[in-house]
Amino acid sequence: MVKVVGIRFKKAGKVYYFDPNGYEIKLNDPVIVETARGIEYGHCVIETKEVTNDEIISDLKPVLRLADETDKYINRENLKKVKDAMDICKEKIKEHNLDMKLVDCEYTFDNNKVIFYFTSDDRVDFRELVRDLAAIFRMRIELRQIGVRDHAKIVSGLATCGQECCCARFLSEFAPVSIKMAKDQNISLNPSKISGMCGRLMCCLRYEQEGYEEKLKRMPKIGYHVNTNLGSGEVIDTNTLTEFVKVKIKIDEETEEILPFHVDEIEFNKSNSHYKKIEENS
């Protein structure tokens, strides 16, 4: 077992483990840590705990110290410089006529590097831009191309639910989302209904997927034949959340009725075997 502390550098950003280095670090405490990018300023989001060696992806770097007032001042000044840096970079992008959209900028805590984040539909040759920016800022320059989901996370905004985008509010990592999830949840496949601000499938489709998958294991497919206490019939509609199905039952030679049944009130008919073979082959 190894003692670690969880540090985050941005709101809703990824949490990284560090060696607490003997410091008593409490939740939300600002700390100075050593990272692959250099010295960074972050906040504790997971207090000191023990984890197994398998949970440690790479060698733990140490917490250098708890942030003091000087460190907090430096961090505030770095944040203030971002707007001016963005304006300068946008002007230079325009001068070089580059097809790229500047999204965000950040200074490393030790002021050794300034990082610009941008989006573009194509690869961009920004070597001349980097030279110009390095001459102006007199520090290392990094331009990092990001995807549409990362763009939405940085810019944020209100989603269709009326709340701030999940990715900007609390999602530290993006999980895969598939169109199958929308189908399983019986959601309209209209792209405008299931797409987020980034244009990709909404992250929230994943939240209830596990529950839907468990319920779908018990549910018959539309077209299946089932036995009920009123006779056998064909499933013509299902409601996964309530676990009710609508069954068309032949009452007599001339009468058919559509009746609702809970999944516990029906039995699968053996005649469904041909449906299963079709599903396995599709």
Least confident stretch, 41-50, 126-135, 237-246, 271-280: 271-280
> C-alpha 197: how far from its chain's center?
13
Q: Is the pLDDT at 281 greater than 70, yes or no?
A: no
**Per-residue pLDDT tens over the stretch 216-272:** 999 998 999 999 998 889 999 999 999 999 999 988 777 889 999 999 999 987 666
CB 224 within 8 A of CB 275: yes
Mean pLDDT of all residues in 4-22: 92
Mean pLDDT of all residues in 104-133: 93
**Per-residue pLDDT tens over the stretch 143-171:** 999 999 999 999 988 888 899 999 999 99
Q: How close are the terminal C-alpha atoms of the chain, in Å?
A: 47
Minimal CA–CA distance to 196: which of 148, 232, 237, 231?
A: 148
Distance CA 218, CA 244 (A): 11
Number of other CB atoms surrounding residue 275 within 10 Å: 15
Mean pLDDT of all residues in 103-113: 92
Mean pLDDT of all residues in 101-121: 93
Q: Is the pLDDT at 274 greater than 60, yes or no?
A: no
Q: Is the pLDDT at 277 greater than 90, yes or no?
A: no
Q: Is the pLDDT at 34 greater than 80, yes or no?
A: yes
